[in-house]
Amino acid sequence: MNAAFALSALVAVASTIMVITRRNAVHALLYLVVSLLAVAVIMFLLGAAFVAALEVIIYAGAIMVLFVFVIMLIGPASTAVNARAWIGPSLLGAVLLAELAWVLVRGPLAGQPAVEVGPKVVGMALFGPYLLGAEMAAFLLLAGLVGAYHLGKRR
């Protein structure tokens, strides 16, 4: 498990560095997707399969669609993508896919917790001891939504 965890962490760090250093927004977006998928693999390795699924669905799915819309608003001149831009993210994604296949074929991991973190446990935590934090995050998201509306509103 330590080797799989270290490999996923290495892919996450490498792809995050590539997100920061890319000048083209689409190239950075490709590496961001790989980074989010690497974090989902790490969560899966730690025994939090539900959190890993949420990571893929919410962040690598919904948030990336939002980023694609923003990039489309920037304009096609600054978002040209050549075939070479896919090589790095594809290689890192292939490493993650091979690692995940290896872990699934190998069976339960030695260091994996006996109790699986499911949706009920996450819900009980969010509406129990972490209720204040969840509500504060909701208010921050609402403030960001209102701010984005007012900034984007045409006069």
Torsion of CA 34, 40, 43, 49, to 10 degrees: -160
> What is the model's pLDDT at position 9?
94
> What is the model's pLDDT at position 155?
67
Query: CB of 8 within 8 A of CB of 46?
Result: no
pTM listed for this prediction: 0.71
SS3 readout for the chain? CHHHHHHHHHHHHHHHHHHHHCCCHHHHHHHHHHHHHHHHHHHHHCCCHHHHHHHHHHHHHHHHHHHHHHHHHHCHHHHCCCHHHHHHHHHHHHHHHHHHHHHHHHCCCCCCCCCCCCHHHHHHHHCCCCHHHHHHHHHHHHHHHHHHHHHHCCC
Query: What CATH code would you report for 2-114?
Result: 1.20.120.1200
Q: Measuring CA to CA, which residue among 102, 90, 69, 82 is closest to residue 11? A: 90
Angle at which helices 87-106 and 25-45 cross, to 10°: 10
Query: pLDDT tens digit string along 69-107?
Result: 777 776 666 566 677 878 888 999 999 999 888 888 886
Burial 65-83 (b: 16+ CB within 10 A, else e): eebeeebeeeeeeeeeeee
Mean model confidence pLDDT for the chain: 83
pLDDT band at residue 108 using 50, 70 and 90 as cut-offs? low
- CA 70 to chain centroid: 18
Give me the mean pLDDT over the 129-154 stretch: 85
